[in-house]
A and B are shown apart, each in its own frame.
Chain A
Amino acid sequence: MSDSSLFQSLMHSLGLGHSDFNGGIHPPMHKITAAQASEVSPMPPVLIVPLKQHIGEACIPLVQIGDHVYRGQKIARADAYVTASIHAPTSGKVVKIEDHRIPHPSGMGLPCMFIEPDGHDTIDPACLPIVNWRENDPDLLRERIRQSGIVGLGGAAFPTFIKLLRDRHHPVHTVILNGIECEPYLTNDHRLMLENTRQVIEGMQILMHVVQAQKAIIAIEDNKPDAAEAINACLSKQRLDLTVEVRLMPTRYPQGSEKQLIESLTGKQIPAGKLPLHVGVLCQNIGTTKAVYDAIAEGIPLTERMVTVSGDAVPKPKNLRVRIGTPMRFVFAQCGLEDFDDIQILHGGPMMGEKLRSADIPIVKSSTGILAMHTATMQSVHKHEDPCIRCGHCSIVCPIHLVPNLLADHCRNNQFDKAEDYHLFDCIECGCCSYVCPSNIPLVHYFRYGKGQLAQLTRERRFADESKARSEQRERRIERENADKAARRQRVRAETKPVLDGKNSTENDGDAS
């Protein structure tokens, strides 16, 4: 933390200076793949497509084992609202459906569909482009985006159509294209902006049409001036009648985080628990915008994405256009990495990515990048955590004004209710606090632990409440049954008494009880 940034942060907390988000860090960027044109990955022998690749509910398979599928054919859908359907990445045969590891820190698996490509890559004839989308109803376009299984491709994998909801009380006036890409190593959005400029801009226009926004801002960090130039050139060539602004932002992590970017651009802070919608803004990632273009103007659902393959253990790092479901081992092999001894694989960037336990895991919709690092270069310092010296650096860099050291204390000591009071759930897990901590405290890890435990507690509580309700219901039922039985007995006794003598009626009683 240099003096100048300390000063800036002080100015900011006093409400002076230009509008900007709080804190942030400047890690070495290692954007080694930035200048290299992307390549198209060949088809692997088998594609492993997980049936849940987004935040929300898992999907139900629509095809049987042995079925032939086309590229873009919907192979799994879900009935819930927060969900995104899954499409076949290429044409071929469904070989099996079984549990397989997915990119998840637990190393656990989920049902996956195994598809053997037939080599023709035939597109489903049902996939038709909406060429005259400008004349089309926004709701129809939104439905197409929903049917195309598009999720946020910046890593969060939140279903995109939900963000495109038009709310009468909160009209969206500005669409923000997030070309920040503040994570080190990752360059996939950068390459998309350079190589698919036209598609990205048209995707942006589609988004603006869907939410009926009048203005757009394309935000790019100043370490990618070529991307800004390409977009400016394309914009001036097209002579759009829309207000589009290309904004170069000073490089700082985590500027690419939605809420932080919106604060940087508009000066508006999104309150906890609210959405960008509530300040009249829609923020979409570059990759997502390109996917929207593909879905509307080309008619192809989300079956492919740009993946940065990098890291110091990769001999030939590059950006690859990879079909969803391609095993990482196959992707790494194209970059010259085949032996995974003493190598750690990260899914996502080095700041927020998750360590994977094996290379036999498929690329999914949220795979922004896969990094292979030598174990020696990976920070092992977090094994030796020192006491907190209360330097306060973690609070200075926290983009959402939390007090990480206190939060970590509470999580470590299982005082989760207090951690929640300190707004644990507002943490975006950007990792700035862990990055600057001089005592090597794995702060974010503590927060993840705390969040998991709190979620677990909530689940247990809910289960207990349900059990209690069922048990009370059962008790009431038994009571009612007993009362019924007693009433019936009394009736029987009253009816039989005149006929039978006393001895018989007592026998009757004994039977009933």
Chain B
Amino acid sequence: MAILSLGGFALVAGIILAIATRAFHIEGDPIADKIEDMLPQTQCGQCGYPGCRPYAEAVASEVAEINNCVPGGERTMIAIADLMGVEPKAIEAEEAIPMIAFVREDECIGCTLCIKACPVDAIVGAPKQYHTIITDHCTGCTLCIDPCPVDCIDMLQKPELIEHWSWPLPDTQRSRIGHQRRESHQHV
């Protein structure tokens, strides 16, 4: 009797849950979407994945570490850590200064190889014509450097604009302590 009633009850619960699984089935991976929204979309491949979306999927399925996005830096890593509910990890690569690519036009032979390499279509030009880089669109991913057969592409520091200037943190001891605490970031 005992086994029967317990078994019967478990069966009922099981059927309800089976129906619920069907009803609440989810398509795609919403966490990967969220992570992708946090990534800087440079498509630079420095994380070892061919783009931001593949890296987001790898992080969401916990295949990749959260600290591999170089251009995103610490801020992106902490945002992902918060979302995934995991400990933040140290970033190995140094915080990079924002750079943009620049074509030395008199040396360019117009081979279009860099145009093909650019993941965000930020290079304009035609065969046998000078190529140039739309500075507003360049993400500084450096993917155009290697394909160039004559090495005429330089990475230059992104020019600072007065409109984009922002106040630094106040220079007091406590502000620095507070800042570091957040940067080293410990969760309970």
Evaluate contact between A468 and B41: CB separation under 8 angstroms.
yes
Chain A residues near B36 (CB, 8 Å)? 468
**Roughly how many angstroms separate A271 CA and B173 CA in the complex, as a whole number?**
37
Q: Which residue of B lies closest to A381 (CB)?
A: B172
- Bound state CA distance, A412 and B181, in angstroms? 10
B162 A384 Cβ-Cβ under 8 A:
no
Q: What is the bound-complex CA distance between A470 and B41, given in angstroms?
A: 10
CA distance A108 to B167 in the complex (A): 13
Contact of B162 with A104 in the complex, beta carbons under 8 Å: yes
Contacting residues, chain A, for B183 (C-beta < 8 A): 414
Which of the candidate stretches A90-98, A138-146, A299-307, A449-457 sits at the interface with the other chain? A449-457
- The residue that A471 contacts in the complex, of B51, B169, B171, B179, with Cβ under 8 A, is B51
Q: Which of A109, A385, A453 contacts B173 (CB 8 A)?
A: A385
Q: Report which residue of A104, A386, A448, A467 has the largest number of chain B beta carbons within 10 angstroms of its beta carbon.
A: A467
Partner of B174, one of A104, A387, A451, A463: A387
| A466 sits at the interface (CB 8 A) | yes
B33-47 CB contact bits vs A (8 Å, 1 = yes)?
Answer: 000100111110000
Query: Could you mark each residue 105-148 of chain B with 1 if its beta carbon is under 8 Å from any beta carbon of chain A, else 0?
Result: 00000000000000111100000000000000101000000000
Assess whether B24 is interfacial by the CB under 8 Å rule: no
Q: Kindly report which residue of chain B lies nearest to residue A454, judged by CB atoms.
A: B166
Scan A179-202; emit 1 where CB is below 8 A from any B CB, else 0.
000000000000000000000000
- Nearest-Cβ distance from residue B116 to partner chain A, whole angstroms: 9
Which listed residue, A414, A452, A471, touches B119 by the CB 8 Å rule?
A471
CA distance A474 to B171 in the complex (A): 45
CB distance from B115 to the nearest CB of A (A): 10
Given contacts A446-B170, A452-B167, contact A413 B181 (CB under 8 A): yes
| A110 and B162 within 8 A (CB) | yes
Q: Does A484 contact B (CB under 8 A)?
A: no
- Residues of B near A473 (CB, < 8 A) are 121
A105 adjacent to B167 (CB under 8 Å): yes
Cβ distance B35 to chain A, nearest Cβ, rounded Å:
12
Q: How large is the interface on A (under 10, 10 to 19, 20 to 34, 35 or more residues)?
A: 35 or more
Taking CB atoms, residues of chain A closer than 8 Å to B121 are: 470-471, 473-474
Given contacts A468-B41, A474-B119, contact A452 B166 (CB under 8 A): yes
The answer on a CB contact under 8 Å between B167 and A442 is no
B interface residues, tally (CB under 8 Å) = 34
Say yes or no: B164 contacts A384, CB within 8 Å: no
Which A residues touch B168, using CB under 8 A? 449
Q: Are A412 and B120 in contact (CB under 8 A)?
A: no
Q: Which residue on A lies nearest to B183, using beta carbons? A: A414
B28 at the interface (CB under 8 A from A): no
User: Which single member of B51, B160, B172 contacts A385 (CB below 8 Å)?
Assistant: B172
Check B162 against A108 for contact (C-beta < 8 Å). yes
The verdict on B52 contacting chain A, using a C-beta distance below 8 Å, is yes
B61 at interface (Cβ–Cβ under 8 A)? no
Residues of A near B122 (CB, < 8 A) are: 470
Task: Give the Cβ gap from A289 to chain B, nearest Cβ, in Å.
Answer: 29
A109 touches B162 (CB 8 A): yes
Question: A448 to B171, alpha carbons, bound, how many Å?
Answer: 13
Question: Within the assembled complex, what's the spacing in Å between the Cα atoms of A382 and B183?
Answer: 23
User: Are B179 and A106 within 8 A (Cβ)?
Assistant: no
Known pairs A385-B173, A412-B179, A474-B120; A460 contacts B167 (CB<8 A): no
Nearest opposing residue in chain A for B43, CB measure: A471
State whether B179 touches A414 (Cβ < 8 A).
yes
Is A459 in the interface zone, CB < 8 Å from B? Answer: yes
B25 adjacent to chain A (CB < 8 Å): no
Tell me which residues from 424 to 474 in chain A have a Cβ below 8 Å from any Cβ of chain B.
442, 445-446, 448-449, 451-453, 455-457, 459-460, 463-468, 470-471, 473-474
B178 near A413 (CB under 8 angstroms)?
A: yes
What are 13 A-B pairs with beta-carbon distances under 8 A? A104-B162, A108-B160, A108-B165, A385-B175, A412-B175, A413-B181, A442-B170, A449-B166, A449-B168, A464-B41, A471-B119, A473-B121, A474-B121
B residues adjacent to A (C-beta < 8 A): 36, 39-43, 51-52, 75, 119-122, 137, 139, 160, 162, 164-175, 178-179, 181-183
Closest 10 CB pairs of A and B: A452-B166, A385-B172, A448-B167, A464-B41, A106-B165, A468-B41, A467-B41, A412-B178, A445-B170, A470-B120
